[in-house]
Structure 1
Amino acid sequence: MRWVALKYIKPGSTLAQRVSDERGRTLLARGIVLTDSLIKRLKRVGIRAVCIESKSTDDVIVTEMVDEVTKAELLSITYETLEELSTSGFSNRLKPTFLRKRFGSLLEDVISQLRAHNGAGEQLGSVYLTDGELFHHSVNVTFYALTLGLHSGLSDVDLVDLGMGTLLHDVGKMRLPQEILRKPGRLDNEEFRTVQLHAQLGYDMLKELRDFSTKSSLIALQHHERLDGSGYPWGLTESDIHPFAQLTAVVDVYEALTANRVYRQAFLPHDAYAILLADKGTKLSSSAIDAFSSTISIYPIGMTVRLSNGDCAVVIKPSANNHQVPIVRAIENERGEPISPYELNLATASDIHIVTCES
């Protein structure tokens, strides 16, 4: 099986994993044979890539670190909570104690599943499924952050607080004009200042919830602050930025760069990773980036890529001791014709590299 972008999917392909919407609801079940009309439907609702069966990669097992049922439930609850918090007054159902009840046990389940994989993010493949919708972005950032938190040795209590804060770190955007958030072109100065308000707005909303920890609320307030004082909303420097917010800043930047947005195409994972490294120790936390480098495989197993020699290949495993450069299996030539498969370790193949992601 392998992940393939919808624009490269041909009718007749069979889904190897179910497809869900931003609320975690099933759009298409595993085993469905895709038709032209189904492919068009998935494009309309913002699905970026799907996992399909493939004879040339039938030995490649794409096993998510967080199972489909848990992720679907987390997406659904995150969607409902962000919608409720976006209203002018909190819902009568959304009591201060209810949020922790709503998320606590589910986050503990997510943490348990991530821990079962030894906290190594080699299979966060589903982060590439959609075009950066807020709900998916929030859940993806949470998966990344918890993986780094496990690597850093955070306690279970701190991990839940980290998860609560990252799930709702962008809640303030629910109070902003959607025409600005979805503007296809570059924001002008006034529009950018409006977007910056989401950090303070989110914090003001979350701090009113009595059982929502201060550490969790500070993630919403400070995840755009930078160590050198160049961030917002307050221009804080390293010593004044909470460690949870510093960690969240790293994964928030990476997840945002690798998602398609209305104003730009997604960055290649290795280009996004290079941006993190360029800001290491100046704008972004060195320890958080070190944890990212040690745990996250930026090219997850099953991802389809295009190589510089023109061949289409699928990631089959990370290179030993290098999570950022994978071992791939080439399966098609540049015309989409099957070839005799060959495997290539891109960490040692100096003359061949990834030029595009096709998932």
Structure 2
Amino acid sequence: MRMVSLYHCRPGMRLAKSIFSVDGRVLLAKDMELTDTLIRKLEECGVTYVYIQDPLFDDVQAEPTIPDELSAQAVNTIRQLFQMQAQTFQNHIAWNKLVRELENVFESVYREILQNQHTMFCLNQIYTYDAYLYKHCYQVGVYAMVMAVQLGFPKEKVREIALGSFLHDIGKLCIPREIINKPGRLTPQEYEEVQRHTVYGYDILRQKRSFPLLSAHIALQHHERLDGSGYPRKLKGDEIHEYAKMVAVADVYDALTSRRSYRKALLPSVAMEWLYAGSGRQFETRYLAAFRNAIVLYPVGLTVKLSTGERAVVVDNNTSAPQRPIVRIFEDAEGRAVVPYELDLSKALTVQITQVEI
């Protein structure tokens, strides 16, 4: 299989991985044949890439570190909690039940992380655009959990980090949708309102008896920065809780590598460089290192363009050099098909990945 930009999809291609809707249901199942209508519908739903079956890459399996079914369950639980909070009349019994479900999700994800802690982590489930916020919260939670496990945090601390991360953006429910979904640049007044989502989220979570107070602080502080340039309180250094420092790294990385209505996704390596540019100034260096050592920058199956002009697919990762994967070239610089051959970018140091198709 290989990951293909929707722009490059053509009728007759078959899906190699299922696509999920906002409530975690399978929208299009694996083996579904694409048509012009389906491609157009996927575009309308905000899907930017799919995994397709390709005889040149039958041996390439882009298996996520966390099973698709578990990720779908997690995203759906987060969605239900957000939607329940948005209701005028709060059902505290139902909320507590969903928090218990979220804790069950934590337990399952935690087991997967422990079983795969010597494997680089990859989250490659495909969702429609209206699931972005819930998917973002879930992925930030998993990234933060991976960092915590890497650093040897005890299970109870990992649990607090996970719960706070999974709901760190719940305060955005209090921001007008026209501001949240605005495709252009925000006005100073709109940006000031967006910043308040941290305070709104903290106020929501700290009032829930079943929710840990330290987890609620993640919602409040995940936009604070070591040098005091963050918000809402412009905290510095040790004034920021360690949980929030970790989530800040995961939050920014996931945001930068996700396509939004107002910009394209950044290359994973570019996003990592962006984070490291703030090492010791905005972000805690040890959390950046733990994150970099645990995360797959170029998922297996990803279609990339090289500095030579050739197109290739990532077929394996080098754990000692995550920015230099092994790729299989299938198209030359003129767009002509070639007999596929593999190139280890950790050895071909003059060749760079210049573009990813997402």
TM-score under structure 1 length normalisation: 0.95
- Tell me the equivalent position of 1:225: 224
Alignment partner of 2:38: what SS? helix
The aligned residue for residue 73 of structure 2 is 73
Q: Which residue of 2 aligns with 1:195?
A: 194
Distance (Å, rounded) in 1 between the aligned partners of 2:128 and 2:65? 15
User: Which is worse superposed, 2-11 or 126-135?
Assistant: 126-135
Question: 2:20–2:126: 8 Å Cα contact kept in structure 1?
Answer: no
Contact 1:132 1:259 in 2 (8 A): no
**Mapped pair 1:213 → 2:173:** no
Count of aligned pairs between the two proteins: 358
Counterpart in 2 of 1:109? Answer: 108
Instruction: Supply the AA of the counterpart residue of 1:349.
Output: A
Unaligned runs of 5+ in 2: none
CA-to-aligned-CA distance 1:188-213 (integer Å, 9 cap, x gap): 11010000000000000000111211
Offset at 1:260? 1.0
For residue 92 of structure 1, report the CA deviation from its aligned partner: 4.6
**In the TM superposition, what is the alpha-carbon distance from 1:2 to its structure 2 partner?**
1.3
Q: Does 1:308 align with 2:307?
A: yes
Quote the Cα distance in structure 2 between the aligned partners of 1:92 and 1:319: 48
- In structure 1, the residue matched to 2:19 is 19
Other-structure match for 2:56: 56
Q: Secondary structure at the match of 2:351?
A: coil
Summarize the Cα distance change of 1:260–1:158 in structure 2 as closer, same or farther, 3 Å threshold: same
Divergent runs of 4+, >4 A: 127-132
**How much does 1:254 deviate?**
0.5
CA contact (8 A) 2:311 2:332 kept: yes
CA distance in 2, matches of 1:55, 1:195: 47
Once the two structures are superposed, what CA deviation does each residue of 1:130-179 show, in whole Å capped at 9, x if it has no partner?
58821111111112111112111122222222111111000000111111
Give 2:211's aligned amino acid.
F
Q: Is the 8 A contact 1:172 1:201 kept in 2?
A: yes
Indicate the SS of the match to 2:309: coil
The equivalent residue for 2:166 is 167
CA–CA separation in structure 2 for the residues paired with 1:198 and 1:110? 27
**Contact 2:171-2:199 at 8 Å conserved across structures:** yes
Q: How far did 1:286 drift?
A: 0.8
Distance 2:18 2:233 in 1: 43
TM norm structure 2: 0.95
Q: Distance in 1 between matches of 2:349 and 2:130?
A: 32
Confirm or deny: 8 A CA contact 1:15 1:30 kept in the other structure: yes
| Segment of structure 1 superposing worse, 116-125 or 45-54 | 116-125
Aligned letter for 1:74?
A
| Residue 254 (structure 2) pairs with residue 244 (structure 1) | no
Residues 227 and 135 of structure 1, relative CA distance in 2, 3 Å threshold: same
Match of 1:148 in 2: 147
Quote the Cα distance in structure 2 between the aligned partners of 1:46 and 1:121.
28
CA deviations 1:115-137 (Å, max 9, x no partner) are 22125334323379858821111
Q: Residue 54 of structure 1 aligns to which amino acid in structure 2?
A: D
Query: Deviation of residue 346 (structure 1)?
Result: 2.0
Distance 2:69 2:13 in 1: 23
**1:353 Cα deviation after fit:** 1.1
Aligned CA-pair RMSD: 1.8
In the alignment, structure 1 segments of 5+ residues that lack a partner are none
